[in-house]
Chains A and B, each alone.
Chain A
Amino acid sequence: MNSQLPIISRRQMLRSTACGFSYLAAAGMAQRESYATVANPLSPREPEFTPRAKRVIFLFMQGGPSHVDTFDYKPMLAEKDGQKLVFDDARVLAKTRKITKHRVFKSPWRFRQHGESGAHVSDLFPHIAQHVDDLCFLKGMHTDGVAHGPATLFMHTGSINLVRPSVGSWVLYGLGTENQNLPGFVSIQPSMGNGGPRNYSNAFLPAAFQGTAVGRAGTPAKDVKMRDLVNPARTTAEQRRQFELLRAINAEQIRDRAGDDKLEAVISSYELAWRMQHHAPGLFDFRQEPQHIKDLYGIDQPHTDDFGRQCLMARRMAEAGVRYIQVNYGDNTNNPRWDQHSNLHQHRDHALNTDQPIAGLLTDLKQRGLLEDTLVWWGAEFGRTPYAQQNGTGRDHNPDGFTMFLAGGGVKPGFSYGGTDEFGHHAVEGRVHMHDWHATLLHLLGIDHKKLTYTHDGRPFRLTDVHGRVIRDIMA
């Protein structure tokens, strides 16, 4: 079924093991490429048509940053500040089917125009503001789900309730991955809340396409590592000795069962595991990164150390050929990070924590020529309301109008697409539903979202279900 990992040639393996303990040379193994790769579900596959992007870095801003306080400038909010006006609030509507009055709440932050494109950015993001001419804003976003759980799952899987594969799993299923010594889909410090592992799950796709969680939200990024890559109790020499014994015993056990793919796959999974064990830890070892690069990301600075490290990991993974990388700015609570139902001023902290690392990542990708074929996606499960929640000091969720931004990977730089009404409540033009964005993301990677299907329960499934439009207007 999905047990077809690359198969080490049996003869080759017997040659290296059959005469007792031939000493295993880890370096030599890593070099050897003569694996029969026919059946490897993760081997790179040609996209359907020429892709604009080869890989994705998704910067997930959990909780829902307010678009009207960051990138979607609405002078009307200052003009009508404090007035009680009628708004069809999504949550109130879903619960009561009623439309009620809410107090217009102006942004506490000042907006300025930046770059040649003249994009508005609030003072929350002084570093990102320097990059607006590389960014492509989607200001007419809308999505399904008013609460975090449903909307977060919807953004990751295209479904608010049913169990579906996540975007990264679909991408891996469609394209495979470039570096067989590393996982192809990584989620850095994912939240355990709001769907938790379902947000990087392969659901009914074969297990090879599941996302690999690296660390989890709520722990310092400094301590992040992949699970079970390091043996806590055995020396390297002992591990080698043991690994050689395993190879020999497995060779002996498979001797009379030539050609059984399932058994050969087990052998090959150990070979891969052994190689990954020697390659993957390098991703988290920043010793070779020069100081000016660490500074770029704000590493070792009080606000930016955590997210800076996550962003640098992402760049290192992108460089190493990981296909889909999600960087999570999140936590494990029911009111995650950007979720300011009250005390909107806390947005300041989250901006401080993420602004410089994101700008650093953009600079670094660009100077390495990686931005061209890396699609960077900044976004969240929804935006926030332009009015105060319950006449208080924060904003409620707003799934019907919010902003995401993109960079690199074949999108128009210095461009803005779509927009909300004069208050920033509903997307009114250039509306892009989350399904549409999923379709567009796949398209940028060279995949037709209607053709990327997987048959389960007797019928074909796809990421966009029966929906999704490719937004061609944003493509460079």
Chain B
Amino acid sequence: MRGLCIVAGKDADDTAALGYPIGMLLLGVANSILLASRPCRFLLRLGILAILLRAASTSAADSPAGKHALAELDFFESKIRPVLIEHCYSCHSAEAEEVEGGLLLETRAGIRRGGESGPTVVPGKPAESLLLSAIRYESFEMPPDKKLPPHVVADFEKWIAHGAVDPRDGDAVHRDVGIDLEEGRKFWSFQPPRPELPPTVRDASWPQTEIDRFILATLETKGLQPAADTDRKTLLRRIYYALIGLPPTPQELDDFEADGETTTDAVARVVDRLLASQQFGERWGRHWLDVVRYADSSGGGRSALFPHAWRYRDYVIDAFNDDLPFDKFVREQLAGDLMETSDWQQRRRRLTATAFLVLGPTNFELQDKDVLEMDIADEQVDTLGKAFMGMTLGCARCHDHKFDPIPTREYYAMAGIFKSTVTVQHDNVSACNTAKLPLSPDDEAATEQFDAEMAKLSDQRRELEAKIKDAKSKSPTSDEPTSSLAQESYRNQLKRLQSKIKTLKAGKPNAPIAMAVADKEQPSDIPLAIRGVVHNEGPIVPRGVLQVCASAEFPGIVSDVSGRMELAEWLTSPSHPLTARVVVNRVWHWLMGQGLVRTVDNFGSTGDQPSHPELLDYLATQFVEQGWSVKQLIREIMLSRTYRMSSARGASAIETDPDNRWLSHMNRQRLDAESIRDTLLFISGQLDSSAGGPSIAKGTKIEYGYVFKSKRRSVYLPIFRNRLPQLMEVFDFADPNIQLGSRTSSTTVPQAHFLMNNPFMLEVTDAAANRILARSELDETQRLRFAFSQVLGRGPSKMELQLAEALLHDGSDESKNWSMLYQTLFQSIDFRYLN
């Protein structure tokens, strides 16, 4: 729920003495003794009073005011201090093993200042004193093991009401987490990107693009050599999976190898062709869906289906295929509903885009709806922070960010924007907000006509029903036969009418719905939630954005809007230090297997430093100048010589750069879950390549027990938060519950078991076997070459060929043997990795 927060405590008494009257000094000492031994408490109390009496002037002690003060002091010593010592100090004093909540109670300063949740004791104001609500088990539950008896609680109330007289001097030593924004802005990622010029290199023959010069320059300073170019077949397999998530066919491999053009030209042609294909968006849209924790259900306790989520998924796929400028893409997702639009299609697209904010893993079952709304706003802030800025804003929910210059106030400044936004509709189990999408003029006309027709028929029905009722009420008294005749006739009319209504309803025009947000009617600033606890309200914080990103100007928010548009514009301002850097780094990561900043979702101080800061800035500034075009950026990286390097590691690279930070060779990347599944279906001839539309099978009420029958590309499978297709689950599909820009790549036993025994594997390998056996024009060796080429993107080695032949010649069931061979190839290392 809240962050792991460890605040160091320090001896409180060591600074107590200087500059204080002797009585106070002695009290400080007495404090220490009190802490150490309880039995002598009473004697000490007398002693302290005696000291005080001596230290104070006699007249003052005799005066009524003086007597009053002494009585208060005595009250503290007899009723309050012993309780604090016995029940509180073990966790809330300098002697505690670990100070809880940053709260130190053994000095007056400490108890008044309080810990992370704010002032503990406000003299004279019991209602504002956290201490009191904590021992009443209202705000906190203190002491945690057992509630104090009511008379003790009453003592504390009395003590606070009477001014909380407290002789305990000295300063509670806290680690004060004041944030210095000026200092914070010096961190590399908060500095605006600089337009860098490519460096000069010693070996001018290697680089083919600007990118290559940045890479080579670093390698040269590190004493490393770039790896040789990889062979063409390996390169083509790499390009295919990177751009469309499917393998090249044996024919495409052969053609590419035989292509007489220079490699650069050949690559350019393939890249352009694939960038223009529908599959490109299906591959790259899925990357983005990881970043925005896309799912077709809410997860949480009682998981709700999101039957309209697919519209957002299709929006993302189309955005990549259309090369929608990335800044616009960001603005649409945050504030599409508020943007001006020129036509109904655009309005539809922009409304749909805001599902980004609605798709979170929300526990709609939470009974405290204030908490639910705040949780949603939290999730939105956290997701947008990581997705667009690479900032872990969630850390600042309960306290100032411990590592990055983000004060809690700014967290609530942003949360206020989302609390002013409608994302949820409340009920016992609440639901996500939706919007009716605008219609085409034809649909609109049809709908109007339908509505009018329906209204007319409904009126007629009401009239008839009234007449029937009327006739009925008359009949018992009037005893006229006409009355029952009339009834009969009305009933017949009603029947005809009802059947008309039914027919009309069957032809009801389509009324598409999308998950979407809207501004609340009365947007407002919200109070800071102390320690992240919603009902623990602190000061109201004006809505706004991160001050540390000073290079991008923020205009402020006028009172009658949520501020999402302003936030989106600020984020996509060309001078924003993070947005462009974060996205170009993501693209680099998706193509190269590792980002220039390896922690792709964390550009803060706990994240990774860029390996090639100049290259990152070069790419980011170019990206903005060239209109935020993702396709252009992909093309530039793929046409570099860097992208073309072999994944074989040189001896010096293994020695000096085992993590390949300086990119002396290509990273060997594992096929992700979708690529594995889509390839299995593709090679077995079963892949259904139809694009777009709903994913969840009709009639589905809940995700539990859902059977994934579809043979469509993986991006079109429903992504339930509590149920994933098994293959996706075992092969590290992105957990849709969390924002995740970089998937893990684990190697586990369940993966092996899946490939060895799962019925899906047997089904696809049987199909692949039958398919190749149907190719009667091929002999066995040709078939073997073809199968290796399909699965591994290359022909078999001599040894592999021998091994495979041995398998095929063992036993008589040819089709089973082929199925086993395909299965083994799918299990092999060279299928699982892109070299």
Interface residues of A (CB under 8 A from B): 1-3, 5, 20-21, 91, 94-95, 144, 146-150, 152-153, 159-163, 183, 192-198, 203-204, 206-208, 212, 227-234, 238-239, 241-243, 245-246, 248-250, 252-254, 256-257, 259-260, 262-263, 265-267, 269-270, 272-274, 276-277, 332, 334, 428-431, 433, 436, 450, 453, 457-462, 465-466, 469
CA of A204 to CA of B740, assembled, Å: 10
Task: Indicate if the CB atoms of B828 and A149 lie closer than 8 Å.
Answer: no
Q: Does B212 sit at the interface, judged by CB under 8 A? A: no
Task: Indicate if the CB atoms of B749 and A272 lie closer than 8 Å.
Answer: yes
CB distance from A173 to the nearest CB of B (A): 14
Q: Bin the interface of chain B by size.
A: 35 or more
Chain B, 355-371, CB within 8 A of any chain A CB: 361-363, 365-369
Q: Which residue of B lies closest to A197 (CB)?
A: B722
Tell which of B336-344, B417-425, B480-488, B797-805 binds the partner.
B797-805
Q: Does B81 sit at the interface, judged by CB under 8 A? A: no
B722's contact among A162, A195, A256, A436, by CB below 8 Å, is which?
A195
Q: Which residue of B lies closest to A273 (CB)?
A: B752
CA of A91 to CA of B678, assembled, Å: 47
Q: Does B197 sit at the interface, judged by CB under 8 A? A: no
CA of A461 to CA of B832, assembled, Å: 32
Task: Indicate if the CB atoms of A459 and B402 lie closer than 8 Å.
Answer: yes
Given contacts A150-B366, A163-B737, A249-B828, contact A459 B395 (CB under 8 A): yes
Contact residues in A for B392 (Cβ distance below 8 Å): 457-459
| Contact flags B382-425 to A (C-beta < 8 A → 1, else 0) | 00001000001011000000110000000000000000000000
B363's contact among A21, A91, A149, by CB below 8 Å, is which?
A149
Task: Indicate if the CB atoms of B145 and A431 lie closer than 8 Å.
Answer: yes
Contact residues in A for B146 (Cβ distance below 8 Å): 428-431
Chain B, 718-753, CB within 8 A of any chain A CB: 722-723, 726, 732, 735, 737-738, 744-753
CB distance from A471 to the nearest CB of B (A): 8
Offer 17 A-B interface pairs, CB within 8 angstroms, sorted by A. Answer: A95-B368, A147-B302, A147-B365, A149-B365, A150-B300, A161-B300, A194-B301, A207-B746, A207-B748, A228-B753, A228-B757, A243-B756, A253-B830, A254-B829, A262-B747, A458-B392, A466-B5
Contact residues in B for A227 (Cβ distance below 8 Å): 726, 750, 753, 758
Given contacts A149-B301, A196-B723, contact A332 B705 (CB under 8 A): yes
CA of A223 to CA of B751, assembled, Å: 23
CA of A94 to CA of B365, assembled, Å: 12
CA of A233 to CA of B759, assembled, Å: 8
Contact residues in B for A466 (Cβ distance below 8 Å): 2-5, 100-101
Q: Does B120 sit at the interface, judged by CB under 8 A? A: no
CA of A466 to CA of B99, assembled, Å: 11
Contact residues in B for A149 (Cβ distance below 8 Å): 300-302, 363, 365
Task: Indicate if the CB atoms of B807 and A241 lie closer than 8 Å.
Answer: yes
Contact residues in B for A428 (Cβ distance below 8 Å): 146-147
Given contacts A459-B395, A460-B4, contact A249 B824 (CB under 8 A): yes
Contact residues in A for B732 (Cβ distance below 8 Å): 207
Q: Does B575 sit at the interface, judged by CB under 8 A? A: no
Given contacts A192-B723, A250-B829, A332-B704, contact A1 B368 (CB under 8 A): no
Besides the contacts A227-B726, A228-B756, what 19 more A-B pairs have beta carbons closer than 8 Å?
A: A20-B802, A147-B301, A149-B365, A150-B365, A153-B301, A161-B1, A161-B375, A162-B1, A196-B303, A196-B723, A228-B754, A229-B753, A241-B810, A262-B670, A270-B756, A431-B141, A458-B602, A458-B604, A459-B4
Task: Indicate if the CB atoms of A252 and B367 lie closer than 8 Å.
Answer: no
| Contact flags B47-68 to A (C-beta < 8 A → 1, else 0) | 0000000000000000000000
CA of A162 to CA of B721, assembled, Å: 13
Contact residues in B for A212 (Cβ distance below 8 Å): 750
Q: Which residue of A lies closest to B302 (CB)?
A: A149
Task: Indicate if the CB atoms of B145 and A266 lie closer than 8 Å.
Answer: no
CB distance from B711 to the nearest CB of A (A): 20
CA of A232 to CA of B833, assembled, Å: 27
Given contacts A149-B300, A252-B797, A262-B668, contact A198 B722 (CB under 8 A): yes
Chain B, 125-166, CB within 8 A of any chain A CB: 141, 144-147
CA of A259 to CA of B651, assembled, Å: 11
Q: Does B823 sit at the interface, judged by CB under 8 A? A: yes
Q: Which residue of B lies closest to A239 (CB)?
A: B756
Task: Indicate if the CB atoms of B606 and A458 lie closer than 8 Å.
Answer: yes
Task: Indicate if the CB atoms of B654 and A249 lie closer than 8 Å.
Answer: no
B807's contact among A150, A245, A269, A460, by CB below 8 Å, is which?
A245
Q: Does B599 sit at the interface, judged by CB under 8 A? A: yes
- Which residue among A149, A150, A195, A458 has the maximum number of chain B CB atoms within 10 Å of its CB? A458
CB distance from A314 to the nearest CB of B (A): 21
Task: Indicate if the CB atoms of B4 and A269 lie closer than 8 Å.
Answer: no
CB distance from A263 to the nearest CB of B (A): 5
Task: Indicate if the CB atoms of B723 and A231 lie closer than 8 Å.
Answer: no
Task: Indicate if the CB atoms of B302 and A269 lie closer than 8 Å.
Answer: no
7 A-B pairs closest in CB distance: A149-B301, A458-B606, A273-B752, A196-B722, A192-B704, A207-B746, A94-B367
CB distance from B805 to the nearest CB of A (A): 11
CA of A246 to CA of B670, assembled, Å: 18
Q: Which residue of A lies closest to B403 (CB)?
A: A458
Contact residues in A for B749 (Cβ distance below 8 Å): 5, 183, 269, 272-273, 276
Task: Indicate if the CB atoms of B747 and A269 lie closer than 8 Å.
Answer: yes
